[in-house]
Structure 1
């Protein structure tokens, strides 16, 4: 679908953002978007009909200054954003997902996922969860696992709820986009490897998070998080230089107009730099890769209300714009 410009005076922070767009007919292409909802096809400016946003990120240090100059060039022909379909802004090679990274959210989940036979009062279980969070922070133990790029979809696309997903839930997250290869980077240097930020809604089927048949092996992230379209991404990548403090952004998710999540990234147990650094201690992060930084309190398990056919999710993060997705239940197979 095409997108209509937001009512606000600016779509995002800073002078430009990167997007992947397409017209009604024709292939997707990398675009420079300005805050007044105008679009410039980057293929002529940067050379190459096969150019992608990931290709731009592969050479981010050299290309970023050129993009800034293009954004300032008023002579370049630009078209209205509303004429185009907006896709997920990048096709990453790897997706690193963070679990249990917002203090209030983890405490809520700890209470909601009570073990069979655990009849302790809620206050006692909340205190136990808070103690666990304090210990994790002190021991510097973020929780990172791998997601599939095939789960990504556009920021305005419908989200298919598989028939087998009995408890589909929303999880709004700040996603860091890698712009420089990172392997075993220290925390102090981690943000130097981040090209920009975007919005991710990392859907989860709560019913399949844990393997009930084999509790010894724990979580099943393949089943619970990686259905096609379970990660709406975008609408664009806002360069890191335009975001003054990624650890002071507001995340808000509304379900059918009702606010469900409304939290600051200040509630993260491990900030963006620590998450990127931690992932890089094991893996080699590549340009275009995503590091999702966890979701704040206010998911469906907390409210006792999971996603259903026809639900509309509006998700926004300070300076990054907003996305709107509609849930569509899978029919009988």
Structure 2
């Protein structure tokens, strides 16, 4: 990478002035504790649900979740942070409900999230996730699709056993899945379209990136028998947070540390993905923006040097700073949605966690 790009700190370092009190450093340790606690609470039910699958499907699902290798032998593999179940539990806590009452909803959301990841890897042609070959790389495309479908079905089955609001929860979850599909349709369309603007990307992001986070927060409140206005406030919080989450994800796709993201350097650029920093740079009237557009839209294969140069051009064209600023703005908008709820401390901490995550 060029010296100007290499000199920048890795994305994910704490930023000043973005905590829920309005000043000072982010409180990452507290957010990490909330995530770890959510994983501890939901893991037994998640594991029990996956183990009800037929052996062939359970093997692929557990491999994807990082529990074992392709032969079913337990290994210390990287797993996701579990943000979505943590949001379910935090929203329930804001409504005054103990976590035990909403575990089914939390696990259902995590199962849907992982079903979409398996399918996304197929559609995007991604060969690595969390530092290991993706499910379709190990078992093939057909089996990967089936494994994802099985997790989707398992999510509905799990939520059907929820002690509160099972039917309305399923309806809300499936609405989110349909919205995710719409967002993915537009996202795939963008891969072959030259006429993609920032507003197009943001509109798609509100379907693909925000639907499930909004659903997670709403399900937490719904499963806690919260009033309708609180359920909708939680949904709005999650949707705003979802936009910030995807902006950070896009930044990591270009400048993230492969040792943390589990993906190659500049993986999004190698695929010429129209992520938000990329589109912001393409729309930039700067010399760097024009040079980047010539490079990115040329159709010629990109090598590692081209990817490093492209990342530098995006930064100089303002795409990186724009995405960072937008992520902060959407986190602040998310917090404003729940500012009136005294029990929403965990949600505030998780919002901060989204801003400075590095994987």
Structure 1 length-normalised TM: 0.25
Q: Higher helix fraction: Structure 1 or Structure 2?
A: 2
Which protein has the bigger strand share? 1
